Structure 1
Amino acid sequence: MSRGSFVFTPTALRSLQLDEEMLERDRFKRQLVSHRFSGYTLNRGVRDRPTSRPSAALPPAVCHDLVIQNALYTGDLEAMQRFFPRGSTANFIIEPQGGDMRWVARGEGKRQGLWSLTYEQELTTPLHITAGRGFADCLRLLLQRGASVDLAPGGTTALHEACESCQPECTKLLLTHGANANAVSEDGLMPLHMCTSPESLECAKYLLQFGAAINGRSIEEDDTPLHIAARNGLPEHIELYLHYGAAVDKQNDVGLTPLNAACSQPQELQDLQRYFKVCQLLLEAGADVSTMDQEKHSPLHMACKNVNADIVDLLLENGACVNNMGYGEAPMHNILKAVCYKISHKPERVVRALLNHGSIRVWPGALPTVLKHCCGSPQTIEVLLNAYSKLRVTDTWVESVSPEIFKHQEFYESVFALAQTPRSLQHLARCRIRTFLDTSIHKVVPKLNLPTFLKNYLLLDFRGYVH
């Protein structure tokens, strides 16, 4: 097959037929587009920055040439060298044309791919295309040919694009050619705000080396880069930003500090340790463990809601108040509402930690409701019930436990047996000691001259039954 030809598969043909209506709409919209080049850069400060490239002062042209566009999208350096010989300029804007065929690169080296119709109406530049795809050699050529480094026809600069796509070599190239490390996008984000994944760490390092504002705020949410890193669970970014003097307790527009942001972010099982490390670094840097957001939720409320037991332990060790009320809800309420959704996160560890730090208990009359929603986690139920010296077990309790929880039948039979049997003397002694120690249980018990199994018993260790 010749270099300039391609084959339409049946799938591609069906796709083209389905796209016909969209193309018509795009052609109509394109007729309404008017280009005002003075508005392509992000703000007046960026437009007025001095530059050593004479060609940058010229208004950019608009390129509709698909041959040039596809050379950019495939990173074809040889073609680029032909299109832009020495003495030429590469300072132009690309307006994607709805219905044009474009090469979508896939696979290693970006030389494999397929031809696809384009619908994007956002304007872009050669720098955006090459920087976002990691074509460093092509990017270097374009910069040498006078491409305007801070041009942003679609609302973001090429530097934003490189950081969002985690392309450190392209990020460095743009910065060394004068890109504004603090350019603000149309959405109010600086390049450092675009570093949202572990792979973007090197980009963040280059940005800071070239003067990126470590405490720069996003316009809409008032987030700092530390908020972004915390929300995305990026411990290495956190460490880097703290080294550069990031403010650890700044609040955004809804009152979240970076610590609050980390604790409030939904976390899958594989994410728990990353977020724990983030919180650990923030607390070591002096983060306030008790700051509440606008909804009166503390980091402990949020960590309980997301059932991250390690973070809950960490917050409690650093003085988090176990009974802070946020609009009528304590941390214990948050964990009990999440148990049935997060059984794999070991919610029983959170409930145990809260009780051992003096948390309020569930009103006894509400225990059947708790049993109904949390019966999938028998260890959680065990810890809760062992915080009471007396229980009034009724038929309502039996009806609250789903028949589907057959694998935990032995445990629940021990619970239902309490309807006819009082709690054991050993358990009553435990309750008496716990009542006496009150909120000091977690501090005093480990220091007692007792066998380990008795200490664990006092701290509501799990046994798989109640007695």
Structure 2
Amino acid sequence: MSQGSFVFSPTALRSMERDKELLERQQNQKRLATPGASSYFLKKEMRERSVASSRGPSQPRALICQDPVVQNALYTGDLEAVRQLFSKGAPANLVIQPQGGDMLWVKERGIWSLTYEQELTTPLHITAGRGFTECLKHLLLRGASVDLAPGGTTALHEACEECQPECAKLLLSYGANANAVNEDGLMPLHVCTEPESIECAKHLLQFGAVVNGRSLEEDDTPLHVACRHGLPDHVKLYLRYGAHLEHHNDEGKSPLNAACSVPQEKAKLGRYHQVCQHLVEAGANVLTQDQQRQSPLHMICKHINPDVTDLLLQHGASVNDMCYGGNAPMHYVLKQVAYKPEHEPERVVQALLNYGAVRVWPGALTQVLKCCCTAPRVIEVLLNTYDRLKITDSWAEAIPPDVFKQHQGFYESVFALTQTPRSLQHLARFRLRNYLEGRLHKVVPKLDLPTFLKNYLLLSFRDYVH
């Protein structure tokens, strides 16, 4: 084969055309085999063809390629091979059809069959998603259609999802649609879900991406997505471009709700705190509720992020509001203590009590011991809101022997109060806290008292009760 010739012979091209026609027939059969959706897809296809014809001559039809030589060159980013395979005059709008064996239900035959699940992609998708910028540029120069999406997603989506900013910028400079919608109803900004995708998001906005574009299924904006994934840099960027703070998605969640409503790993607690801080400083409503009447405080107590709890309380979150399930924020945190002791749940409980949370009913303390005994500081801060305790045998039974042994000093101080009244120092604290109920967080810092006494009034931890 000469240097200037193309690897696909006429026979190979005819074979690819037959493969494409076979694939189209299979897709039509699949659509017709689904009664509820067939008419929708057929009408949608007719509309798209009608629109395409009204715009003038259509682009050349894409060829389907299963050639492993071509796929290997693209997947490895072999620039020389790509230049040779896609030389001048060669078709650049190929549809790549990698295959893998899967058991699928064949409705027409009523059996399970080992067949091949085909995922359609293109040379642009492969090179853009893997950061092969020079290969991508060569394909674009050879006329590859920048918005071709045979598998339901564009190459720009692929570049943004895989955090390849140079490829994203190149595609945009060649006219890629910054607001293209993939098969899941997402625009490229919606798939910027990693911290490393910040440069992709910047390029998208510079090339006209709609900062308040909504996903088709969840009605999420890019700000919802950034908040849900704990991306403070993305949040700052979107707010600078005018992102809406109070748009509620299909679940009734604002971006602040979205940030607080997802499980948060300990290593990411700081990121979510920064996200919420940016939102609150921009004017987000901390009292907003979703369809279940859950506020951001309800949600963040469920996922136990002490710094975000403090932030919301400092900006006016209501500590005793109940959701439709009858739960206040305190209920949520106490239910999660055993699962997230490393998140410092005692700090959340302490903050809620200092901001006026209703105390646990004394008759329920045995149940609280069962749920929270592995976090003795939670028990300590709760017990220090009572002037007297009625300790019964059920308390001892609620604490497993191994937990008692691990925290023996603390639990011995608790059970020592069985026949002993609380100390005079604690009783003074109790009276003063009752007098200042709901105002503790405002009044105590202003009192002319030593710091250790202020901390004592605000239920600082001592790892024993007295």
Q: Shift of the alpha carbon at 1:88? A: 3.2
Correspondence 1:301 to 2:298: yes
What is aligned with 1:374?
A: 372
SS of 1:207's equivalent in the other structure is helix
Q: Is the 8 A contact 2:189 2:209 kept in 1?
A: yes
- Equivalent position to 1:256, from 250, 253, 259: 253
In structure 2, how many angstroms separate the alpha carbons of the residues matched to 1:91 and 1:35? 22
Asked if 2 retains the 8 angstrom alpha-carbon contact of 1:168 and 1:203, the reply is yes
- The SS at the match of 2:286 is coil
Residue 145 of structure 1: how far off its partner (Å): 0.8
Q: Name the residue aligned to 1:285.
A: 282
What does residue 89 of structure 2 align with? 87
- Structure 2: distance between partners of 1:41 and 1:204: 34
Matched with 2:69 is 67
1:325 aligns with: 322
SS in 2 for 1:33: helix
> Partners of 2:47 and 2:62 in 1: how far apart?
15
Q: Is the 8 A contact 1:64 1:94 kept in 2?
A: yes
Structure 2 residue aligned with 1:427: 426
**1:354 aligned partner:** 352
Aligned counterpart, 1:109 = none
Q: What SS is found at the alignment partner of 2:401?
A: coil
Secondary structure at 2:338's aligned position in 1? helix
Aligned to 1:404: 402
CA distance in 2, matches of 1:453, 1:49: 78
Contact 1:97 1:121 in 2 (8 A): yes
2:223 is aligned to: 226
Aligned to 1:181: 178
Alignment-mate amino acid for residue 397 of structure 1: W
Contact 1:371–1:381 (8 Å) recurs in 2: yes
User: Secondary structure of 2:64's partner?
Assistant: strand
Are residues 305 and 47 of structure 1, via their aligned partners in 2, closer, same or farther at CA, if it must alter by over 3 Å? farther
Give, in whole Å, the separation in 2 of the partners of 1:400 and 1:270: 32
The match for 1:456 is 455
* Conserved 8 A contact 1:248-1:257: yes
Partner of 1:93, secondary structure, is: strand
Match of 1:164 in 2: 161
Matched with 1:16 is none
- Structure 1 residues 284 and 135: CA distance shift in structure 2, 3 A: same
Secondary structure at the residue paired with 1:78?
Answer: helix
Q: TM-score, normalised by structure 1?
A: 0.85
Answer with 293-302 or 62-71: which moved more. 62-71
- Tell me, in whole angstroms, the C-alpha distance in 1 between the residues paired with 2:364 and 2:49: 61
Corresponding residue of 1:58: 60
Partner residue in 2 for 1:141: 138
Separation of aligned partners in 1, 2:272 and 2:397: 38
Alignment CA distance shift 1:366-1:432 (3 Å): same
CA distance in 1, matches of 2:50, 2:23: 29
Amino acid at match of 1:144: L
How has the CA–CA distance of structure 1 residues 348 and 136 changed in structure 2, closer, same or farther, with 3 Å as cutoff?
A: same
Tell me the amino acid that sits aligned with residue 309 of structure 1: P
Q: Whole-Å Cα distance in 1 between the matches of residues 197 and 381 of structure 2? A: 43
The 5 A counterparts of 1:36-51 are none
Shift of 1:65: 2.2
Secondary structure at the aligned position of 1:219 is classed as coil
In the TM superposition, what is the alpha-carbon distance from 1:94 to its structure 2 partner?
1.9
CA contact (8 A) 1:171 1:206 kept: yes
Q: Give the 3 Å change call, closer, same or farther, for CA 98–392 of structure 1 in structure 2.
A: closer
Alpha-carbon separation, structure 1, partners of 2:177 and 2:24: 33
- Correspondence for 2:80: 78
Q: For residues 51 and 132 of structure 2, what CA distance do their matches in structure 1 show?
A: 25
Contact 1:386–1:460, Cα closer than 8 Å, also in 2: yes
Alignment of 1:93-172 (within 5 A): 93-98=95-100, 120-172=117-169
CA distance in 2, matches of 1:352, 1:121: 55
| Cα distance change on mapping 1:41 and 1:440 into 2, 3 Å | farther
SS of match in other structure, 1:62:
strand
Contact 1:133 1:167 in 2 (8 A): yes
Deviations 1:240-298 (A, max 9, x none): 11111100111110011111111111011101000000000010111110111111110
Which residue does 1:112 correspond to in 2? none
Matches of 1:48 and 1:376, distance apart in 2:
68
Tell me by how many angstroms 1:31 deviates. 9.8
1:46 Cα deviation after fit? 9.4
Q: Is the 8 A contact 1:41 1:152 kept in 2?
A: no
Cα-to-partner distance string for 1:74-125 (whole Å, 9 max, x where unaligned): 11111111122223331222223447xxxxxxxxxxxxxxxxxx95502111
How big is each residue's C-alpha offset from its partner over 1:309-352, in whole Å with a ceiling of 9 and x where there is no partner?
00000000000000010121100000100111111111111101
**Number of residue pairs matched by the alignment:** 417
Unaligned runs of 5+ in 1: 1-28, 100-117
In structure 2, the CA distance between the partners of 1:216 and 1:57, relative to structure 1 (3 Å rule), is same
Residue 33 (1) aligns with residue 30 (2): no
Take 2:200 and 2:50, find their aligned partners in 1: how far apart are those partners?
A: 23
8 Å CA contact retained: 2:99, 2:119: no
How far apart, in 1, do the equivalents of 2:53 and 2:221 lie? 26
Letter paired with 1:91: N
- What percentage of residue pairs aligned between the two structures are identical? 65
Q: CA RMSD in A?
A: 2.4
Please, which moves more after superposition, 186-195 or 67-76? 67-76
Which position in structure 1 is the counterpart of 2:33? Answer: none
Which deviates more, 448-457 or 224-233? 448-457
- Gapped regions of structure 2 (runs ≥ 5): 1-21, 30-41, 102-114
Change (3 A) 1:43 1:372: farther
What is the deviation of 1:45? 11
2:385 is aligned with 1:392: no
Question: For the structure 1 residues 284 and 169, does the alpha-carbon distance in structure 2 shift closer, same or farther, using more than 3 Å as the test?
Answer: same
Query: CA distance change for structure 1 residues 464 and 30 in 2, over 3 Å: closer, same or farther?
Result: same
Q: 1:429 to 1:318 in 2, by over 3 A?
A: same
User: Against the structure 1 CA distance between its residues 47 and 78, is the aligned structure 2 distance closer, same or farther, given a 3 Å change threshold?
Assistant: farther
Deviation at 1:377, TM superposition (A): 0.8
Code of the aligned partner of 1:93: V
Deviation at 1:440, TM superposition (A): 0.1
| Structure-1 residue corresponding to 2:16 | none
Paired with 2:448 and 2:252, the residues of 1 have a C-alpha distance of 45
